[in-house]
């Protein structure tokens, strides 16, 4: 996994005006160490159906891995909030779609905004397992002599596909990720937006406990979970992407 060789413009912020469904705006939020590239095909699909779309590059991402060791977790939801506010200037109904940590970030902003709906793909809400929790506890100390950890490799079942992200895991960035997840989980009951959640049955990055927690603790009256059988973690670029796109379109049509 590397950001080198990414398609032109796919590592940058992306915004495209809608043509038909101009009252609906959609924000797409990528994952930790990833980039907007993981969300561009999804956003392009929705834009081709007439919707206004925004794919922001989260602070610390898509540039150089050292930048991810310099951010504070609040910068991620703040960046998404900027795009929500931007879309509200032209759209009456806003949806937010998030992948992995982008799903956690989506839930964070959903607790504070009146959204028409949210769509989550293999969303992250906690760091599971005792070894990982111990590593998080001592990460600030580890960071003094080790700036990076083993990378989260491209977890994609389809051949020759990459999400164009960092090939290392910045240590201090992981500390901030944990802060984001803890703060977000404490507000899950405040999430009221109709929710569509996709979960890969074979995900090598996140355990299913993330999905279980979200489905149990969000306050949404409508919440639906769909299992993906032919994709790994980065499902937005994997074999089940067409299913994600089509069911997302139907979700947005229903709730807009």
Q: Is 100 one of the catalytic residues?
A: yes
- Cα dihedral sign, 121-32-125-16: negative
Orientation angle between helical segments 40-48 and 241-255, nearest 10 degrees? 50
> Which of helix, strand or coil describes residue 244?
helix
Is 14 a residue of the active site? no
> Which one is catalytic: 100, 200, 220, 231?
100
Annotated active-site residue in 30, 126, 199, 233: 233
Q: Which of 154, 203, 238, 240 is catalytic?
A: 203
Long-range contacts of 63-68 (CB under 8 A, 24+ apart): 63/3, 63/11, 65/33, 65/148, 65/166, 65/167, 65/168, 65/170, 66/147, 66/170, 68/33, 68/166, 68/170, 68/172, 68/173
Give the whole-angstrom CA distance, residue 100 versus residue 127. Answer: 12
Does residue 203 carry a catalytic annotation?
yes
Catalytically active residues, by annotation:
100, 203, 233
């Amino acid at each position: 996994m590397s950001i080198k060789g990414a398609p032109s413009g796919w590592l940058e912020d992306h915004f495209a005006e809608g043509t038909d469904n101009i009252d609906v705006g959609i924000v797409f939020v990528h994952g930790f160490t990833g980039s907007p590239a993981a969300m561009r095909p999804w956003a392009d699909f929705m834009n081709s159906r007439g919707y206004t779309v925004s794919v922001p590059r989260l602070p610390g991402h898509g540039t150089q891995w050292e930048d991810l060791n310099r951010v504070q977790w609040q910068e991620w939801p703040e960046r998404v909030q900027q795009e929500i506010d931007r879309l509200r200037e032209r759209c009456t109904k806003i949806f937010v779609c998030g992948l992995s940590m982008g799903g956690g970030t989506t839930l964070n902003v959903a607790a504070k905004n009146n959204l028409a709906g949210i769509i989550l793909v293999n969303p992250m809400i906690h760091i599971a397992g005792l070894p990982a929790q111990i590593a998080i506890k001592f990460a600030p100390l580890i960071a003094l002599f080790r700036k990076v950890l083993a990378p989260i490799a491209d977890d994609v079942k389809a051949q020759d596909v990459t999400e164009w992200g960092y090939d290392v895991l910045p240590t201090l960035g992981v500390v901030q990720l944990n802060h984001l997840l803890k703060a977000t989980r404490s507000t899950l009951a405040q999430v009221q937006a109709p929710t569509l959640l996709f979960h890969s049955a074979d995900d090598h990055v996140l355990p299913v406990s993330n999905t279980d927690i979200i489905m149990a603790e969000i306050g949404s009256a409508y919440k639906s979970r769909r299992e993906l059988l032919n994709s790994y973690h980065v499902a937005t670029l994997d074999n089940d992407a067409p299913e994600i796109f089509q069911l997302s379109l139907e979700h947005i049509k229903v709730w807009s």
